[in-house]
Amino acid sequence: MTEITQLAIESWAGPCSALAQTTAIDALEKGDVLLLPKLDFALHDDERALYFQNTGVEVKGKNISLNLADNSVRGSHANAAELGVLRDMMVRFATDSRALVHALLPGYVSTIEQGRTSFRPVEVAGRASSWRKDDTRLHVDSFPSSPTRGKRILRLFTNVNPHGQGRNWRLGERFEDVARRYLGSLPEPLWGSSQVLAMLGITKGRRSNYDHFMLQLHDRMKADSAYQASGGQREFAFAPGCTWLVYTDQVPHAAMSGRFLFEQTFYLPVAGMHDPATSPLRVLERLMGRELA
Ligand code: SIN
Ligand code: FE
């Protein structure tokens, strides 16, 4: 079962003790959620006024995202002035997130890449979606258009809900247990399909066998109502004002309710890990007896 490891860190920029650093990396790599209950993201008054006192009508879909490559913001109907406030707020969250990784996970700094930043003001509960996109079903993260070829997906979240509402998750069993449950029944990729998907621009780059099996696992978990109802799991409410980190490609998770969340994605090559054997890539390779990426 997924465990929660807590650290009493209060500052994004650190410093963090050597003990905190070791605890953090060990917990994350073995598939725990790393909870920092005292690490909040402070909002400015203009940000509060804009994004917390209305109903989130300015959001197009479920998330607003920031691409750090050009600081472009997507997914919002905000006007130019509002967009400026939104962008500054998200860039600050991205900067704080990076500072925390440097302070708490220094062993990752030389290989980690910072991905997109998102702000999630929309209530999760009751949101309509297809079963495949339904994040209220337990799953491990794997995205059809973005193959990672084994790279880890590390995500950092901060609940900034101003009304005392938690971000309510379910957390599942350990990755290897979930993998063993489905592995024997996952179909092989169709010959040549990864080239075709990349050529048509459906995937960004080639989908490796690893990506294929992770996507299958993601889909099979979400589609399996018996597993959703009675597979090993626990509920956990992430209170407002807390931050947590988790390898979402490894830890089965489902977001059941909550709104007003920040999220920052990082990618880490397996070789950059302290213990690569714990990665989904190496676990699947061991279980299947062959290389997958
Ligand atoms: C997810 O990664 O499945 C959703 C997490 C969240 O928005 O709380
Ligand atoms: Fe997810």
Per DSSP, the residues of 142-198 read --TT---TT-EEEEEEEE--TTS--EEEEEES-HHHHHHHHGGGPPPPPTTHHHHHH
Res. 62 pLDDT band, cuts 50 70 90: confident
Residue 229 in domain: yes
Residue 256 in domain: yes
Residue 3 in domain: no
What is residue 71's three-state secondary structure? coil
Residue 6 in domain: no
CA of 266 to the centre of ligand 2 (A): 14
Closest CA to 71 of 108, 116, 112, 101: 116
What is residue 120's three-state secondary structure? strand
pLDDT top residue among 168 and 189:
168
Res. 34 pLDDT band, cuts 50 70 90: very high
Residue located nearest, by CA, to atom 7 of ligand 1: 255
Mean pLDDT for the chain?
A: 94
Residue 7 in domain: no
pTM, to two decimals? 0.96
Question: Cβ(141)–Cβ(153) under 8 Å?
Answer: yes
Which ligand lies nearest to the CA atom of residue 261 in the structure? Answer: 1
Residue 170 has pLDDT above 70, yes or no: yes
Residue 1 in domain: no
Atom of ligand 1 nearest to the CA of 167: 8
The Cα 276–Cα 8 span in angstroms is: 27
β-bridge mates for residue 172, sequence order:
233
Res. 218 pLDDT band, cuts 50 70 90: very high
Residue 20 in domain: yes
- Among the listed ranges 61-70, 134-143, 188-197, 241-250, which one has the minimum average pLDDT value? 188-197
CA of 45 to the centre of ligand 2 (A): 30
What range defines the domain where residue 197 resides? 13-130+138-288
Question: Cβ(75)–Cβ(83) under 8 Å?
Answer: no
Q: What is the mean pLDDT of residues 237-258?
A: 98
CATH number, domain of 35, equals 2.60.120
Residue 60: both structure tokens together: 């197009």
CA atoms 142, 143, 148, 154: torsion sign: negative
267 — phi, psi (to 5°)? Answer: -120, 135
Question: Cβ(259)–Cβ(165) under 8 Å?
Answer: yes
| Ion ligand 2: residues, CB < 5 A | 141
148 — phi, psi (to 5°)? Answer: -105, -15
Closest CA to 158 of 36, 33, 249: 36
Atom of ligand 1 nearest to the CA of 258: 8
Residue 65 in domain: yes
CA of 249 to the centre of ligand 2 (A): 8
The number of domains in the chain is 1
Q: Residue 172: exposed, middle, or buried by beta-carbon count in 10 A (0-12, 13-18, 19+)? A: buried
Which ligand lies nearest to the CA atom of residue 161 in the structure? Answer: 1
**DSSP letter assigned to residue 59:** B
Express as a percent the part of the chain with pLDDT over 90.
Answer: 81
